[in-house]
């Protein structure tokens, strides 16, 4: 009985192809897994469903300790690099950016407050001009007409 796997060291069969494909997708990241799943759904929906199940139960979509593979690039901002000058520069720059963000948010709030005040002033002016254009009411007209009686 001669098998394909035993006759050639490079021909590992279908399971070897799947292992190589899995390793290649792992190297490419989560996006490659999602793209492969979408293509599998388009070509043959049960294959896409099987790939989705494999990704969920094989924990391909759950981040582990490999933060770079999972896409957490900003997660290590609080750790040191070992270079004190760079760490001080980074800390100073982040503090400056946080201060600039707070200043900008305060500026936006002042703009919103000024806009709200201008809109309210416009409303009050419109209301006052509408009240001035309206007739004075029964008190004036009652004085001009004689009383019957």
Query: pLDDT per residue over 84-127, tens digit each?
Result: 999 999 999 999 999 999 999 999 999 999 999 999 999 999 99
How many residues does this entry show for the chain?
149
Q: Using CB atoms within 10 Å of the CB of residue 64, give its burial: 0 to 12 exposed, 13 to 18 middle, 19+ buried.
A: exposed
Is residue 137 predicted with pLDDT exceeding 70? no
- The pLDDT assigned to 80 comes to 81
pLDDT number for residue 117? 95
Mean pLDDT of 13-34: 83
- The band of 78, judged by pLDDT with boundaries at 50, 70 and 90, is low
Averaged pLDDT, 25-47: 88
Report d(CA 149, CA 143) in Å as an integer: 15
Query: Using CB atoms within 10 A of its CB, is residue 33 exposed (0-12), middle (13-18) or buried (19+)?
Result: buried
């Amino acid at each position: 009985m001669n098998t394909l796997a035993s006759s050639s060291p490079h021909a590992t069969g279908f399971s070897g192809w799947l292992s190589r494909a899995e390793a290649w997708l792992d190297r490419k990241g989560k996006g490659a897994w999602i793209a492969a799943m979408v293509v599998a759904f388009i070509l043959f929906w049960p294959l896409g469903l099987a790939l989705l199940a494999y990704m969920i139960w094989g924990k391909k979509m759950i981040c582990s300790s490999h933060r770079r593979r999972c896409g957490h690039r900003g997660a290590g901002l609080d750790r040191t690099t070992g270079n004190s000058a760079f760490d001080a520069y980074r800390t100073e720059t982040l503090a400056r950016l946080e201060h600039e963000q707070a200043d900008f948010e305060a500026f936006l709030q002042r703009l919103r407050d000024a806009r709200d005040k201008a809109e309210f002033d416009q409303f009050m002016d419109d209301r006052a001009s509408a009240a001035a254009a309206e007739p004075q009411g029964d008190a004036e007209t009652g004085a001009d007409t004689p009383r019957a009686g």
